[in-house]
Amino acid sequence: MKKVTVREIAQTCGFSVLAGADALDRQADRVFCCDLLSFVMGRAPADSAWITVMGNVNAVAVAVLADTACIILAENAVLDGEARSRAEGQGVPVLGSPHPIFDTGLLIQRMLED
Amino acid sequence: MEKVIYDLHTHSALSPCGDNDMTVNNMLNMAVLNGIQVMAITDHNSCKNCPAAMEVAKELPIDLIPGMELCTSEEVHVVCLFPELERAMAFDAYVHDHLPAVENRPEIFGEQRILNASDEIIGYEPYLLINATTISIEETVPLVRRFGGICYPAHIDKSSTSVFSNLGYFSADWGFSAVEIVSRDNIPQLAAQIPGFEDLLVLHSSDAHYLWDISQGENFLFCNNFRHTLGLY
């Protein structure tokens, strides 16, 4: 499957970089959408671009555990301060999208299928 | 009526996010220094540091209530308090059976230390405690009551793991008779969103994860019997 870097996702889709600017070369090969962290933990594929509205510290921990390529906060959901410092510390890129979850995922899916 | 200073929401080193300096002796002695008269230890989905804490509290001028911060299937946090240790530990066993069998990864989430009354580590909880249980919010009040305890939704005005952040509403059908709020400034807005808000007991606690977060006397109730006011008998 085609892979895109988190940097390419941010640039092509117009998403802002909320944290983890040093880790934008990480590659993603699929999209995963879910908000319930206990579900994400067991189901998010490694190297996925995980889209959620959960911008708290536990979301960052779950991204590390599941080894997702990044977190993308849809709907302009807020990344809180504790989560931002955890993401910086763990090198987890976090992007911000103004679009709803489905539309955010669709933009990335189109890049992967291009 | 007397003024009772309380802190009913604190995390020990058993919670993965709780600082390892949050030992039972450190917490209780800090609380006493801060003038707290009634305290609860409410780790995520576990009461396993309550036995040690109860033992320590016997020697201190403080009333320790064994408790837990339950994470419902909706990932809403609910503070659960019990009149005595035995009931809390029975509830602890029930909740443990309703936790997903996901092992903690201490390097990611933090250690989950089980302590004795001398603050020595006597074990580690293997399952990740911050996970959602399979217990839904509708079940909590009758369930906790069955174990002789009371419960109420935690930090309802917080932007994550609260009834409003995760469900978007507050239902009188859930049967809660109290709520925990983070900021009194949010009371007018909450009163508009919660049916029967004026009948609810509004509590405010520290949700301390570090020793310096423990309340310093700012949270109190005027009552004749604090435990009875909460519904603990």
Tell if the CB–CB gap between A64 and B108 is shorter than 8 Å.
yes
Mind spelling out the 3-state secondary structure of chain B? Answer: CEEEEEECCECCCCCCCCCCCCCHHHHHHHHHHCCCCEEEEEEECECCCHHHHHHHHCCCCCEEEEEEEEECCCCCEEEEECCCHHHHHHHHHHHHCCCCCCECCHHHHCCCEEECCCCCEEEECCECCCCCCCCCHHHHHHHHHHCCCEEEECCCCCCCCCHHHHCCCCCHHHCCCEEECCCHHHHHHHHHHCCCHHHCEEECCCCECCHHHCCCCCCEEEECCHHHHHCCC
What are the structural domains of chain A? Answer: 4-113 (3.40.1390.20)
- Confidence (pLDDT) at B45: 98
pLDDT in tens, B8-50: 999 999 999 999 999 999 999 999 999 999 999 999 999 999 9
Instruction: Identify which of B74, B131, B160 has the shortest CB distance to residue A56.
Output: B160
- Confidence (pLDDT) at B159: 86
Q: Which residue has the tokens 């443990």?
A: B96
Chain B residues with CB under 8 Å of A85 CB are none
Q: By the 8 A CB rule, do B89 and B58 touch?
A: no
Tell if the CB–CB gap between B75 and A37 is shorter than 8 Å.
yes
- Confidence (pLDDT) at B55: 98
Output phi, psi for B216, to 5 deg. Answer: -115, 35
Instruction: Identify which of A38, A64, A78 has the shortest CB distance to residue B100.
Output: A38
* Residue A104 three-state SS: helix
- Confidence (pLDDT) at B40: 98
Query: Does residue A1 carry a pLDDT above 80?
Result: no
Name the minimum distance, in Å, from the CA of A102 to any CA of chain B. 19
* Residue A50 three-state SS: strand
Cα–Cα dist B60/B55, whole Å: 10
Per-residue buried b or exposed e for B69-88, using 16+ beta carbons within 10 Å of the residue's own CB = bbbbbebbbbbbbbbebebb
Output phi, psi for B28, to 5 deg. Answer: -70, -40
- Confidence (pLDDT) at B150: 98
Q: How many CB atoms lie within 10 A of CB B29?
A: 15
Q: Is the pTM of this model over 0.95?
A: no
End-to-end CA gap in chain B: 18
| Residues sharing a CB contact under 8 Å with residue A4, sequence separation 6 or more, in sequence order | A12, A27, A28, A29, A108, A111, A112
Name the helix (H) or strand (E) containing A51: strand A48-52
CB pairs A-B closer than 8 Å: 33
The conformation of residue A22, written as its DSSP 8-state character, comes to G
B160 shares contact with chain A (CB less than 8 Å): yes
Residues 168-227 of chain B whose Cβ lies under 8 A from any Cβ of chain A: none
Tell if the CB–CB gap between A78 and B161 is shorter than 8 Å.
no
Q: What is the dihedral of CA B218, B219, B222, B227, to 10 degrees?
A: -150
- CATH among 3.20.20.140, 3.20.20.70, 3.30.1510.10, 2.60.120.10 for B2-230: 3.20.20.140
Mean pLDDT, chain A, integer: 95
Token code pair at residue A55: 């911008």
- Confidence (pLDDT) at A42: 85
What residue segments make up the domains of chain B, in order of their start?
A: 2-230
- Residue of chain A with shortest Cα separation from B17: A58
Nearest by Cα to B175 from B150, B147, B202: B150
- Confidence (pLDDT) at A78: 93
Mean pLDDT, chain B, integer: 96
| Residues sharing a CB contact under 8 Å with residue B14, sequence separation 6 or more, in sequence order | B43, B46, B48, B49, B112, B113, B114, B115, B125, B129
Cα–Cα dist B97/A12, whole Å: 46
Say yes or no: ipTM exceeds 0.95: no
* Residue A110 three-state SS: helix
B20 shares contact with chain A (CB less than 8 Å): no
Percent of chain B clearing pLDDT 70 (strictly above): 100
- Confidence (pLDDT) at B131: 93
pLDDT in tens, A15-33: 999 999 999 999 999 999 9
Output phi, psi for A78, to 5 deg. Answer: -85, 135
Residues 27-86 of chain B whose Cβ lies under 8 A from any Cβ of chain A: 74-75
Residues 49-108 of chain A whose Cβ lies under 8 A from any Cβ of chain B: 54-58, 61, 64-65, 78, 80
Nearest by Cα to B176 from B73, B63, B77, B44: B77
pLDDT in tens, A35-88: 988 889 889 999 999 999 999 988 999 999 999 999 999 999 999 998 999 999
Average of pLDDT values for B187-216? 96
Query: Does residue B123 carry a pLDDT above 90?
Result: yes
pLDDT in tens, B150-199: 999 999 999 889 999 889 899 999 999 999 999 999 999 999 999 999 99
pLDDT in tens, B75-92: 999 999 999 999 999 999
- Confidence (pLDDT) at B201: 97
Strands B77-81 and B63-71, bridge-based pairing: antiparallel
